[in-house]
């Protein structure tokens, strides 16, 4: 399995000319997975060797603006590109904290933006001990106000594993773990599954 990481932005709080806001791309088997999407991420993508149209999954660590303000714009740009050779854009799965679905739907609805591809938002329900008590906001009722919000799962913490299982295929498992920050935050772990070797142990023993 081939994995390649590209840092598009490592800054925090606000963008600057020489350092973009938080964004990282993992390229795997021809697909691009984006982790966080701060302001200016799509510009950074254009300066890189990556193709934004290859993004199939987006993971958001938390809902601070320097990690999500670039997301609606990126999705709109991907949609605009569909009139050209990228007309067969694959659906995008987006993972992030509870409230992300409402943020995206409202941003696109209020700006009269219509995407020409489908996207799914999978929300992670935080626990109250992930941030200072005075900073915790209960966003569990936001989706009820969305008449036609994007589909997706609501993921709860697995108390036995102390994590959220996001996806799994033959090669790896992706999990989210709780982090402590000023707002509920998550870290993401990609765990490659064991690959049994092909050594013939008995043959080696026979040969001494």
Pairing of strands 92-97, 172-179: unpaired
Given 36, 66, 93, 143, which residue is catalytic? 66
First to last CA, the chain: 33
- The alpha carbon of residue 181 and the mean position of all alpha carbons in its chain are separated, in whole angstroms, by 18
Cα distances (angstroms) measured from residue 73 to each of 16, 52, 108, 135? 18, 12, 9, 27
Q: Is 66 a catalytic residue?
A: yes
Find the largest Cα–Cα distance for the chain. Answer: 73
CA 1 – CA 10 distance, rounded (Å): 26
CA 134 – CA 58 distance, rounded (Å): 29
As annotated, the active-site residues are 66
């Amino acid at each position: 399995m081939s994995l390649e990481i590209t840092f598009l932005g490592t800054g925090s709080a606000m963008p600057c000319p020489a350092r973009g806001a938080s964004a990282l791309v993992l390229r795997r088997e021809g697909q691009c997975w984006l982790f966080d999407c701060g302001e200016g991420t799509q510009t950074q993508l254009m300066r890189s060797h990556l193709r934004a149209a290859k993004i199939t999954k987006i993971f958001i660590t938390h809902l601070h603006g320097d990690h999500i303000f670039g997301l609606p714009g990126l999705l709109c740009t991907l949609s605009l590109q569909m009139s050209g050779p990228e007309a067969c854009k694959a659906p995008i799965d987006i993972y992030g904290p509870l409230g992300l679905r409402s943020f995206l739907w409202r941003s696109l609805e209020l700006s009269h933006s219509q995407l020409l591809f489908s996207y799914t938002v999978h929300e992670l329900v935080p626990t109250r001990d992930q941030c200072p008590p005075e900073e915790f906001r209960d966003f569990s009722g936001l989706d009820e106000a969305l008449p036609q919000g994007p589909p997706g799962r609501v993921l709860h913490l697995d108390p036995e594993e102390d994590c959220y299982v996001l996806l799994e295929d033959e090669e790896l498992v992706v999990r989210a773990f709780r982090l402590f920050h000023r707002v509920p935050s998550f870290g993401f772990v990609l765990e490659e599954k064991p690959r049994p070797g092909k050594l013939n142990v008995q043959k080696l023993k026979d040969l001494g």
